[in-house]
Structure 1
C-alpha cells in the first residue's frame, strides 16, 4: 500500500476531486486487473485507448484515474482524477514506486537484438549460477531463478508491462536475487515498459529485419532499439554487427564482444578448428569445449561472457562455465532416430534462419530438409527473403503455416515463393503444419537433417483469431517415433508421393 500523494510527489500533474492521501493498493493499466483501491492509468495503447475502460475500472473499485488527455474525464465524487503529460511514463514510475523501486536493489542486465535475446539471457543465468551468484532470467520463457523455472504467473510477452515487471523484480529481491537478465524487445522499449527501471548493462546483439511493420517502418524500429542506450548505465556491444555499431554511434561501450580478438575490454569466442572454442578477453584466454553449434551461438556465448565480466565475476571460472552452456527449449533442439536428425528452432527472421541453416549445413552428412512458414499480419517484406535463404541452403523445403493470425495462409505462402527465384531446392507447400512436418520426416533418409523453423518453444498456433495447441517438438517426436527406414507407419495416410502441393525444381512453379 502507498498513498497517492507519494506517487504524485515531484511529478508534473494536476489532481482534482477526492483526496490525494487516498490509499493505493494496486497500480495497473488493465481494467481486468483492477481491484478495490486501485490506481488505474488510462494510457493510449496500440489497439485501444485506456479511457474507454475507465467505467469498468470504476465498477471494480478504482479510487483514482490517471490520463494524459487534453480533456480529463468526469469521474464520480470521491475518485481522484489525475492529469499527467505522459500516462505511459507515469505508469512505469508509479509501478516502480509502488513496489519500492526494486530495480535499484538489483543489477539489471537488459538484452536487446532482433535475434538471440532468449538464448543470451539464459546463458547469462547459467554462467552466474556456476559462479555462485543468485540470478534471475526474465523473458519469453517466463521467470527462472538460479537455474530453475519459477512458478510465477506472467503475461506471455518478451518484455512484460510495468505493473508486472516491478512486481516480479520485487519478488526477485525478496528471494535473495542480486542480478536479473531480462529481454528488452523493441515493442517493450518503444512502449516505455522499461522506463524507471534501473538498468546497469544494456547489451546490443544484432539488428535485423523484423517487427518493422509493427513499428511503422525501419526508422521507428531502430529508434525503439536505441532507447536502451539512454536507459542503461553502460552498454555492451556486438563489434561484428555494423548496424549495431551505427545504432550505438556516439556512445562508448563499457565492453564489446565478437568472433575475433580485439583490443581493450573486449570478449571474443572463435572456432578453434578442431571442434572446440577459443575464448579470449583483455589479458586472458582459454580453450573451451564447444557445448552448442553455430557461429551465432558462439556470439551469444561471447555476449553472456561479456556480461559476466562486466559484473566483476572471475574470468577463468566464467570461461569454464562456457563449456557447459545449454540452449533453451526450442533453440537448436535436437532429436534423432535411425540416423534422422530433427532440429526444432525458433528462427523466424531472415538472419536467424540463415544462421541456423548455415550451422546445420556444416554438420549434415546427407540432405538438409527445411520446414518453415512466416507469421501473418506483420513484416511481409521478410517472407520472400526467407524463401530465398531456405532455397539456398536446403535440398528440400516444405513451406507451411506459422501463425497466420488473421491472414490467409495461402497468401503468406505465395509471398514466400516470390523469393525462390531460380534456386535449385525442391519446394513443396503444405499449409497444415503438422502434415508438413510429417511429410518432411517421411521423406528423410539416414544422414539427413530436418529443420523445423519458426515456432521453437511455442505451444500454440494462432489462426483466424483462435489459438489452438500445437508444438513443433511434440509433432516431430510423434512423427519420428513412427519412422522405420524411410517410411512412416501412419494408418490412413496417403503416400508422400501423392501429396498435393507446389513443387519447384528450378523451373516454373506448378
Structure 2
C-alpha cells in the first residue's frame, strides 16, 4: 500500500519524502523493522518510541509516525535521511488502524467473539471453539495460552499478552483466514481494551463473564478497571452477559445493543439437562463457563439440543484444573491467581471429596496488593494444609508478599511457608496420602517464573509430575 493511500482517511501532517513510498508492514519495535516498514514512535509505559527513531532510521524504516511536537531541527535531520515524517493525533490508535489496513482488514471477513472477564476467559474461548468444531466450523482461539486452530497450537510469533497488540493481532487474523478459519474466539483483557488493541477489530459478539478483583492498581482503581471492560460494548454488535454477576449487569444496563443472558442454569434462555451438566469439568465456575459458550454458539444459529449434547466432549485448556495423579493422590494445576478464581478452584476440588486438601500458592509481585490477604483467608478456610510460596515476585521481595498474604489468615502459625516454589510443590506432594488432593494454584500453563528482572524456567505441571515420580521411586 502506498503511504499516501494509507493516510488518506487519517488526520495528519507529512514532512520529508512521501511520494512513491510503499508500506508493507507496521511496527512499534525497531528490532522488527524490515523493508518498506512503517515505524510508530509511540510512548509506552516503560519506553518512549521517540528515543528509538534514530535506530529505526538506521534499520531502514520507510516512514516514521509521531504524535508529539519535536524540535524543528530533529524533523529536518530525520527528513534529510529520505523518509517521511508523519504527525498524527494519537500513535496508539494509528497503530491499530494501520495494522488493520495493511492486513486487509481481516476482522471484517471473520466472525469475532471477544470474551472479557476477570476470570474464565481462556476456558470460555476454548469451550466456544470445541462446541463450534462439533458443527464443522473451523475456529481459532487467541489468548493467554497462545493461538490455536481447531484445538491445535499454531506456532506464531506473539508477545506474552492476553490480548495481542494490534501489530500482531491483524496479521495473525489474516493468517487464520488464509488457513480457512471462519470464527475467532479471543480474550479481551482490561488492559488490551484500555490500550485500544481491539479498536479496529470488528467484533460480532462481546461476552461479559464477571468482574472481580484484579489489575485495579494497573488501571488506577476499580472504577477505571470497570470502565476499561465496558469499552467492549462500543466494539460489539451484540452482547452475551452473565446474569448472575451484578457488575456485569450494571455495565450493560443502559447499553442499546441486543443482550443475551446466561447463568448456571440457563444458556440464552434454554436449560440443558442435569445429566449433561454433570458431564462438565468439575466446579460451578466451569458450569457457568459452559453456559456462556453455549449461549454464544446458540446465538450463531446452531441448535441448542446438539450444543448441550456436545457438553460431554468439553475439555479444559492447558493449566486449568489440569490433573496428574498416582495411586490415589490427585494433583490439580490451575491458573487461579485472583480471589474468585482461587475460591472456585478450591470449591471444585472440595466437591471431589478428598481425604485432605492441600493448596500451594503465592501472589505475583508488582500487582494488586489488596487481593493477597483475601486469598490467604480463602485458602485457610478451605484447606487442611496451606503451603505459601513464591509466584512471580518480579521487583518485590518474595517474603514481603507472603507476609501480606498471611495478614488475611486467622492463624498464621498454622500456615507452611516454603519460599522456593519447586521445593514447595515437592514438599506438598510428598506430604500427601492416597485420596488426598493437592491444588497448585497461580501459574497454570506458564513455564517460567519472573524473579527480579530474571526469567527462569519453572513449570508447576512438570514439577508435580517429577514429585509424583519420585514418590513412586521411593516406594519401590
| TM-score category, normalised to shorter length | over 0.9
Structure 2 vs 1, CA of residues 94 and 267 (structure 1 numbering), >3 Å: closer, same or farther?
farther
Displacement of 1:228 in angstroms is: 0.4
Displacement of 1:482 in angstroms is: 2.0
* 1:68-147 mapped onto 2 (5 Å cutoff): 68-71=67-70, 73-74=74-75, 75-77=78-80, 78-147=82-151
Aligned to 1:266: 269
Aligned to 2:365: 376
What is the rounded CA distance, in whole Å, between the counterparts of 1:267 and 1:208 in structure 2?
26
* 1:227-246 mapped onto 2 (5 Å cutoff): 227-246=231-250
2:393 to 399, 404, 407: 404
The answer to whether residue 58 in structure 2 is matched with residue 59 in structure 1 is yes
Give the unaligned 5+ runs of structure 1.
Answer: 279-288, 491-510
Aligned to 2:32: 33
1:427 to 410, 415, 437: 415
Contact 1:267 1:305 in 2 (8 A): no
- Give the TM-score normalised by structure 2: 0.95
Displacement of 1:67 in angstroms is: 1.2
Aligned to 1:500: none
Q: What is the number of residues matched between the two proteins?
A: 469
1:436 to 403, 411, 424: 424
What is the rounded CA distance, in whole Å, between the counterparts of 1:212 and 1:430 in structure 2?
28
Q: Which segment drifts farther, 76-85 or 346-355?
A: 76-85
Give the unaligned 5+ runs of structure 2.
Answer: none
What is the rounded CA distance, in whole Å, between the counterparts of 1:111 and 1:183 in structure 2?
5
Secondary structure in 2 aligned to 1:221?
helix
Contact 2:390 2:398 in 1 (8 A): yes
Extract structure 1 runs of 4+ deviating beyond 4 A. 267-270
Contact 2:65 2:86 in 1 (8 A): yes
Secondary structure in 1 aligned to 2:164?
coil
What is the rounded CA distance, in whole Å, between the counterparts of 1:199 and 1:109 in structure 2?
6
What is the rounded CA distance, in whole Å, between the counterparts of 1:144 and 1:194 in structure 2?
19
Contact 1:347 1:356 in 2 (8 A): yes
What is the rounded CA distance, in whole Å, between the counterparts of 2:69 and 2:227 in structure 1?
26
Contact 2:124 2:290 in 1 (8 A): yes
Aligned to 1:285: none
- Give the TM-score normalised by structure 1: 0.89
The answer to whether residue 319 in structure 2 is matched with residue 330 in structure 1 is yes
Displacement of 1:269 in angstroms is: 5.8
1:256 to 220, 241, 261: 261
Contact 1:430 1:436 in 2 (8 A): yes
Secondary structure in 2 aligned to 1:374?
coil
Contact 1:343 1:449 in 2 (8 A): yes
Structure 2 vs 1, CA of residues 243 and 68 (structure 1 numbering), >3 Å: closer, same or farther?
same
1:452 to 435, 440, 449: 440
Contact 1:267 1:302 in 2 (8 A): no
* 1:168-183 mapped onto 2 (5 Å cutoff): 168-183=172-187
Secondary structure in 2 aligned to 1:489?
helix
Q: Which segment drifts farther, 212-221 or 110-119?
A: 212-221
Aligned to 1:202: 206
Contact 1:138 1:144 in 2 (8 A): yes
Aligned to 2:474: 489
What is the rounded CA distance, in whole Å, between the counterparts of 2:79 and 2:430 in structure 1?
66
Q: Please tell me the root mean square deviation across aligned C-alpha atoms, in Å.
A: 1.7
